[in-house]
Structure 1
Amino acid sequence: MSKFWTGRFEGYSFDHFKKDLLSGTIVGIVAIPLAMSFAIASGVKPEYGIYTAVIAGILISLLGGSKYQIGGPTGAFVPILLGIVISYGYENLLIAGLMAGVMLVLMGVFKLGVLIKYIPRPVTIGFTAGIAVIIFTGQISNFLGLKGIEQHERFIDNMKEIASHLNTMSIYSILVAAICFVIMLLTPKVLPKVPGALVGIIVSSVVTALFFSGQVATIGSTYGAIPNSLPSFGIPEITLDRIQMLIGPAFVIAMLGGIESLLSAVVADGMTNSKHNSNRELIGQGIANIVTPFFGGIPATGAIARTATNIKSGATSPMSGVIHGVFVLLTLLVFAPLATHIPLAALAPVLMMVAWNMSERKHFAHILKLKSGDSLVLVITFLLTVFTSLTVAVEVGLLLAIILFAKRMSEMLVVSKVLPDHESSNGKVLPHVVSPNHDCPQVSIYTVEGPLFFGAAQTFEQSILSSINAKPKVLILRLRKVPFIDTTGEEYFRNIITDFKSHGGTLLVTEVRPSLKLAMDQSGLTNEIGEQNFFVHTGDAINCALGCINRSACLGCKHFAFKECAELASSKKPVKPKEVETTLV
């Protein structure tokens, strides 16, 4: 148990606590309006966002793998949770969140945290920007004060809904939203340490209560009073049918939660020169998402903006995250009745600003300008996130990224015919030495560079077989720059061996890496080639090759590919090949 706390509270002092108290309070102030806003945007009551910020926030800080992580409801979850609420209902959202928590714990236990880093950047930027568009457009109706709006799961349907209700626009809502928006922009310039969102919401709420009472929709008029009490414990009805129905949505929540929390932890590492434990972070996130649904909370993950605020405010340990949760809870108990007066039009610019900040617009534009395969992955992931679903977007984005990666890797494979350069002092074998007038008809040497995997294996086979139509006596393959071989590569390599041996040829292999040699041993390629035909140096393989050739065919040859060729071409007797320098590379 002592290992769990090592590096987190070691040497903790009262001075550290004072810093954590300040940073935790500041983050708590920031978290309150966001928690309610994200809950409302997700289609649930605002208090459920508060419960999530309290319970998940405390558990993620205590059990997670980052000292500075702040957990709670986030904008990234909004379109997913809203879709689940619309399709399955609130209680099923709780079950999906619980199932996602179990998945996250299992991911951490089986040490899958490192796999998140293999998700390509264009995919993460694409779906993050798509989510930002969904959040932003989802607040247009509240910003304009539209009445009779019905939320849909699809982006196009929501846009049609907004367009058909534009005639219900309220000038009062627009004015309230504009006031909140302007204050949010001005506050950081006048009071840099005060959260602009909180000031904007308070001022716009006061303006609404004094001048537009009954004219603008508020939390109270839409969702009822927010209870100023502790969340009650309840067990959702979990059945096998519900588990089967929700396995897909739960997996999406788990994957996005894992990605978001680990990205946030990486940001925290960069800001503090620390190192998080990715697997423990997943376990902490998982436990928080298992516990939170029993108190009515929605899925939570690491919040990048709140984590950054926590660090900038001077946090020194996970205690700041605990204090943030306690502060939000105390605020709920004391000020909950006042929250009913918050106009929805004031929350709209808050979420729009969140969407703008999470849109990754600079990175998006940069990748777009590259006009490369990454640009294609980015655009397709973005469009699919907006117009279909995050699940489809990530699946297709990853598939495209894998295909493009395989294509790029296959283009890295280079198969070059080489011969010793007699003008070089160390006798290196080089491609430029080979020409129609300088090429041994009986010994062919090829340098293979690049991985022999499914995307490049056929190219490898065709390059070799098409180049040895003359059927040389000996084929030497130099594999020093081949990092690995997969089963497809093994099969095509086996085709070369079979084809070459069927014509009585001898295959020699040189400079094989230990990892590649082990793979060849396990696949049986070593036995088919013959252990005696593996050489450490190319020079040794050439010596062996010159001992296997038909000497009578050398008579009169003018190619002189090797130093021994002049003697072999003029001699009628078999000539023992001279030792070739084994420094050949």
Structure 2
Amino acid sequence: MNVVNAMRPANAVASVRSYLMPLLPGRRDYRRLPHTWRGDLLAGVTVGIVALPLALAFGISSGAGAEAGLVTAVVAGIVAAVFGGSHIQVSGPTGAMVVVLGPIVATHGAGAIALVSIMAGILVLLLGVLKLGRTVSYIPWPVIEGFTLGIAVIIFLQQVPAAVGVPSPHGENAVVAAIKSIGQASTPEVFWTIGAVLLIALIMVGAPRLHPKLPGSMIAIVIVTVAATLVHAPIARIGTLPDSLPAPSMPPVDPVLVMNLSGAALTVAALAAIESLLSARVAASISDTGPYDADRELVGQGLASVAAGLFGGMPATGAIARTAVNLKSGGRSRLAAVTHGLVLLAVVYVGTGVVSQIPLSALAGVLMVTATRMVPGEAVRSVLSSSRSGAATFVLTAVITVSFDLIVAVGIGIGVAALFALRTLARSSGVHREEIAGPADPADARIAVFRLDGALFFGVAERLLDRVLAIDHVEVVILRLSQIQIMDATGARVIGDVVRTLERRGITVLLKGVRPQHLTLVSRTGALEALAHEKHLYDDLPAAVEHARVHVHRAARHGPPSSRPQVGNGLV
């Protein structure tokens, strides 16, 4: 007994270890490194150059500041690369997260972002530990595209104030803020800022045409910054940045503040999980680096957001644009994403003086171009032409994203898509009365055979009930159930209701072809107990028809139904 008791803790530890080991880094993560390290280093440098203006722009756009964006790109980028479930995903601040963080800053101040980042990171980490990563596969394609389009529109509109030289408001709807800022623009500043935006866009669009690997955003930022400095353009700049990473520390934790931020943390966690898993899934589909681990990706992203919060940063997610650059530049292992973080770290220590002179309108131009590239026109055309239900879901999700809230939009989009899917499923289901095959028998006129097709669920249950119960002038009803592919509790319950109702009317019911996977459900809802006899369950249609004919002939010999004994008299 003592030996058995001693073994139990050991077995428990072994179980925990086997459960957690797949979620932790290991040597398997770097098995391709001897063959890919050169391309990884080059790709990491390239992604770091591309990520610098985006990190600064996203930090400023969120209201947390350029420093927070840069810190997040460094810390979260390295942590997610080491602990995440994708070999080539690049993480950091993203446009979707900026959209969520803006209202938080407006309500609770920029100081609350670090605490939200830690809280949301813990939630995402728990999702990974509980191995819920595959749930993102349940999000329909039109919802994803509509969500992405809505985010792109918001990001673009959020840059309008900076593009016209007006301070960016926080907490207002992006459409309203953009319209107000245009009305508040003044000359000559607006000409300088719009000129900077147009020059940024021109260079970013033109650079890849000269060479696919040219970092258009970085080249544009350098040119615009140098030009603005030389001509002393009257436009706002980023301003002073720290020349080192802050020491990690826990932000002040006030129980009241934590309660107030709990809703925001849930929203941020949901968005971080969705965006990171979608990005990793897309990256895996366009790369040759193998599949990604969804659960481990959540663990890595959760740890990345916690780490970023400890350093005063903001929540991070996987970034599909930077991940795509990583792939196109030759990145094939985690070393590329780690290198990208180290490149940005080098900028923090040696380049913040130069970075501080970047015009805010230049960063706005970078984000505007980035937003227009988030949803390719081909994807929009595909989803709009796919089906009317898909197009409606896409448009509705995009409109709600822009008008109200990201997570609400995803929830409503999934709900609408589910309703359309249920409608399609219901239309594929049917109840058909069949003729009895083979030589005719005088009893056949008193027998009704119904074939149930497709899915028998709550969406079609009432139609089944009405169709079958409308039958009259018959002695026996045979329900053919072998063609039912899907059955839920409501459908099984309706079968029982049909049996009970018909039996009360003196009509004997025979069930034919109940599938093994449905038999338990049908039994538990009382449908089998409602049969007049336990032998009224058949696997073979000819046998059921033969029994029905015998039943009708016997009933005819005993007189009309009103004079016959009630059901349950043992007649089988």
**TM-score, normalised with respect to structure 2:** 0.88
- In the other structure, the counterpart of 2:476 is 474
Q: After TM superposition, list the pairs within 5 Å mapping 1:371-450 onto structure 2.
A: 372-422=388-438, 440-450=444-454
Q: Does 1:491 align with 2:493?
A: yes
Task: From 122, 144, 153, give the equivalent of 2:142.
Answer: 122
What is the CA-CA distance between 1:371 and the residue it aligns to? 6.2
Change (3 A) 1:483 1:6: farther
Deviations 1:24-44 (CA, angstroms, capped at 9, x unpaired):
111111111111111111112
What is the CA-CA distance between 1:256 and the residue it aligns to? 1.6
- In the other structure, the counterpart of 1:155 is 174
Change (3 A) 1:143 1:93: same
What is the CA-CA distance between 1:340 and the residue it aligns to? 0.7
Quick one: distance in 1 between partners of 2:250 and 2:489? 49
- In the other structure, the counterpart of 2:31 is 10
Which one-letter code corresponds to 2:237 in the other structure?
T
Change (3 A) 1:359 1:326: same
How many residue pairs are counted as aligned between the two chains?
Answer: 535
Which one-letter code corresponds to 1:231 in the other structure?
P
Q: Could you tell which deviates more after superposition, 304-313 or 166-175?
A: 166-175
- In the other structure, the counterpart of 2:541 is 538
Aligned-residue CA RMSD in angstroms? 2.4
Quick one: distance in 2 between partners of 1:30 and 1:304? 13
- In the other structure, the counterpart of 2:459 is 455
Change (3 A) 1:68 1:156: closer
Alignment partner of 1:440: what SS? Answer: helix
Task: From 66, 77, 81, give the equivalent of 2:101.
Answer: 81
- In the other structure, the counterpart of 2:4 is none
Quick one: distance in 2 between partners of 1:75 and 1:310? 18
Q: Could you tell which deviates more after superposition, 236-245 or 456-465?
A: 236-245
Deviations 1:319-340 (CA, angstroms, capped at 9, x unpaired):
2111111111112111111111
Quick one: distance in 2 between partners of 1:163 and 1:370? 37
Q: Could you tell which deviates more after superposition, 187-196 or 364-373?
A: 364-373
Task: From 243, 254, 261, give the equivalent of 2:269.
Answer: 254
Q: Does 1:103 align with 2:123?
A: yes
Deviations 1:546-575 (CA, angstroms, capped at 9, x unpaired):
2322357499xxxxxxxxxxxxxxxxxxxx
Deviations 1:354-380 (CA, angstroms, capped at 9, x unpaired):
110113443233333456122222222
**Is the CA contact (8 Å cut-off) linking 2:246 and 2:312 kept in structure 1?**
yes
Deviations 1:270-304 (CA, angstroms, capped at 9, x unpaired):
12242111111111111111221011111111111
Q: Give ranges in structure 2 of 5+ residues lacking alignment.
A: 1-16, 559-572
Alignment partner of 2:480: what SS? Answer: strand
- In the other structure, the counterpart of 1:512 is 514
Q: Does 1:265 align with 2:268?
A: no
Quick one: distance in 2 between partners of 1:459 and 1:32? 60
Alignment partner of 2:435: what SS? Answer: strand
Change (3 A) 1:486 1:6: farther
What is the CA-CA distance between 1:6 and the residue it aligns to? 5.6
Which one-letter code corresponds to 1:166 in the other structure?
A
Quick one: distance in 2 between partners of 1:359 and 1:439? 65
**Is the CA contact (8 Å cut-off) linking 1:125 and 1:360 kept in structure 2?**
no
**Is the CA contact (8 Å cut-off) linking 2:161 and 2:178 kept in structure 1?**
no
Quick one: distance in 2 between partners of 1:554 and 1:212? 110
Q: Could you tell which deviates more after superposition, 516-525 or 120-129?
A: 516-525
**Is the CA contact (8 Å cut-off) linking 1:145 and 1:217 kept in structure 2?**
yes
Q: Does 1:205 align with 2:207?
A: no
Which one-letter code corresponds to 1:66 in the other structure?
S
Deviations 1:171-225 (CA, angstroms, capped at 9, x unpaired):
2222222222222122112232121000000010000110124x111101xxxx1
Q: After TM superposition, list the pairs within 5 Å mapping 1:133-152 onto structure 2.
A: 133-146=153-166, 148-152=167-171
What is the CA-CA distance between 1:163 and the residue it aligns to? 3.3
Quick one: distance in 2 between partners of 1:439 and 1:44? 82
Which one-letter code corresponds to 1:133 in the other structure?
V
**Is the CA contact (8 Å cut-off) linking 1:177 and 1:204 kept in structure 2?**
no
- In the other structure, the counterpart of 2:216 is 196
**TM-score, normalised with respect to structure 1:** 0.86
Alignment partner of 2:485: what SS? Answer: coil
Change (3 A) 1:493 1:141: same
Task: From 43, 47, 61, give the equivalent of 2:81.
Answer: 61
Deviations 1:114-155 (CA, angstroms, capped at 9, x unpaired):
211111222221121111111111112222223x55334313
